[in-house]
Structures are given as C-alpha cells and as structure tokens.
Amino acid sequence: MAIALATCAEVPELDEDGPALVAALAARGVEGIPAVWDAEVDWNRFDLVVVRSAWDYAERRGEFLDWAARLPRVLNPPPVLRWSTDKRYLAELEAAGVPVVPTLFLEPGEAFEAPAGRFVVKPVFSAGGRASARYEPEEAAAAAAHVEALHAEGRAAMVQPHIDGVERAGEIALVYLGGSYSHAVRKRVSLRRGAPDAPQLYLEEAVEPVEPSDTDLRAAEAALAAAPFEEFLYARVDLVHDPEPLVLELELAEPSLYLLYGEGSADRLAELIAATVAS
C-alpha cells in the first residue's frame, strides 16, 4: 500500500513530523511518499492522500481546493478543507457558544476603524503568519493600508485584539488524532509589527511540550464539537489565554502536529491511516 503525504515545494520532504510518520507507516506495511500538491503527480497511484505541509495554499486557496476535490481519496476530506481554510468559521464557533478571540471581519469594500488598543490584522485565508501583523493604536493608517491591500487581492480581512499574554505565555496547541486528544505543546511566535509581507513560508516558533488544563481541554473540545463535521483524521486547536482560554484557530487542513513532542503520536496517526487505507 502507498499513500501520498501532500506537501509544498518549499518543504518537498515534509516538515519535522515527516520522518517519524513515514517510519511509523512503514512499520505497518504502508509506504508514505512525500508529494508536492501542485506538482505533476499521478495521484491515482496512491491508495490515499493525506494533506500535511501544504503551507503555500493560502494565496491560491481556490486552486488548492480544486486540487483536493479531484483526488479519489483525501484526508481531511474536501468539505473539511474548505471550511477550515476560511477563518470566518470563528463566527460559527462563537455563535455555538465556543469561547473565541473576538474577531471583526471586513469584507472587500468595508471600511476599517482602528480599535482602541493594540490589535492584529490578518486575512481570512492565511497560513504561517504570512500577511499578518500587529499594530499599536497610533498605527491606524498603516493598518488601514494593510486592510486595503488585502481587499485589493480580493481577500477579506480580520481584526482581532492583540492578546498581550501571548508575548509571555505563548499559545497552547492541542492535537487530536482520530477525534481523541493526543498531546499538546506551547508555542511562541513573534508576530511582526506593522510589516505584513514576509518572504519566509512561516514564522519561526519556539515549541515545548505542555500539559493542558481542564479548561483548555473543555475549550478545545467545544470547538471540535461545534464544527459541522463528525470525524477528522487530525485536528489542532490553538488557544490563547485572556486569562481564560480562547480559541484562536481550529486547524483541520494542514497543521503541524508536533509529533516529536507527543510520545507515541506518530504511531497513533500511522495506525489511523493504515486502518483507513485497509477499509
């Protein structure tokens, strides 16, 4: 059996999760082959495509979703990918009672008004922190230009308060495999101030394993329960604290799963993949 682990041209051999996952798959008689999602690949030769580090999709989301829709078998499946790659889902989670970071969505043509405190501007289709930046209240003009640039590209913008505790405590990322909690990490990344354009694929982050609190777990599981899908191969819920946990993102498309930080997690994911292929 052979499966494709879909990635992007910038990381053709997968991210740091790749070697452990490939080895765990091989131990179960499954060949995991890295494949660049927008390259010339015979996808029909694979028993399954698992989306992994396809991190360059955000600027070409329509092309990415069209590619996924043409695949004979892909996880997470296309409806999940479509929903999760549009951060307007935060409004759906909030309507369902999930504690989320307060978010104002500005569609192209809608006017921007700067919040009173420090804030963040990002596109609704984004990955790796690209095209995202934080601003001080006195930088309203620069933020307005940022919003206008996103609108000119046909992308809606998001405006969120900057959660100051993130600078100290970072984010808590909870990983779920097959719907069950697997492990969690604390990750710290410095969002650029007033400079949304970045040449790198993703912002560098410091990562360490962490034990989530019961309130963290409840917030993450509320987010998963509110998503309009019943099953995921993988999911990652990113939380910030203010001071209670707030959902920043629900990643169901191509998140880093930090398999090196969760004992046995590569084996658990490989077991789920092998069972899917065999079914």
Residues present in the chain in total:
279
Report pLDDT digits (tens) over 86-133.
999 999 999 999 999 999 999 999 999 989 899 999 999 887 667 788
| Distance (Å, whole) CA 22 – CA 273 | 11
Predicted local confidence at residue 166, as pLDDT: 76
Query: Does residue 153 have a pLDDT over 90?
Result: no
Question: Please, which residues have CB within 8 angstroms of residue 212's CB and are 6 or more apart in sequence?
Answer: 172, 174, 184, 220
CA distances from 35 to 12, 13, 54, 55 (A): 7, 8, 10, 13
**At 191, is the pLDDT very low, low, confident or very high (cuts 50, 70, 90)?**
low
User: Which residue in the block uniquely carries the two structure tokens 């697997």?
Assistant: 182
Whole-prediction pTM: 0.93
**pLDDT reported for residue 27:** 98
User: Closest by alpha carbon to 176, among 234, 231, 218, 238?
Assistant: 234
Beta strands in 87-243 (DSSP E): 104-106, 119-123, 133-135, 157-161, 171-177, 180-188, 206-209, 234-241
Instruction: Quote the CA–CA distance of 39 and 166 in Å, as a whole number.
Output: 37
Lowest mean pLDDT of 13-27, 161-175, 204-218, name the range.
161-175
Lowest mean pLDDT among 138-142, 202-206, 219-223, 263-267: 202-206
| pLDDT greater than 90 at residue 244 | yes
Q: Which residues pair with 250 in a beta bridge?
A: 237
User: What is the average pLDDT across 131-147?
Assistant: 92
Whether 193 has a pLDDT exceeding 90, the answer reads no
Contacts (Cβ under 8 Å, ≥6 apart) of 255: 173, 234, 235, 236
* 192: confidence class by pLDDT, cuts 50, 70, 90: low
| Between 15 and 130, residue with greater pLDDT | 15
Q: Label residue 234 by pLDDT band (50, 70, 90).
A: very high
Give the model confidence (pLDDT) of 36-82 as tens digits: 999 999 999 999 999 999 999 988 999 999 999 999 999 999 999 99
Strand order in the sheet with 171-177: 206-209, 180-188, 171-177, 234-241, 245-251
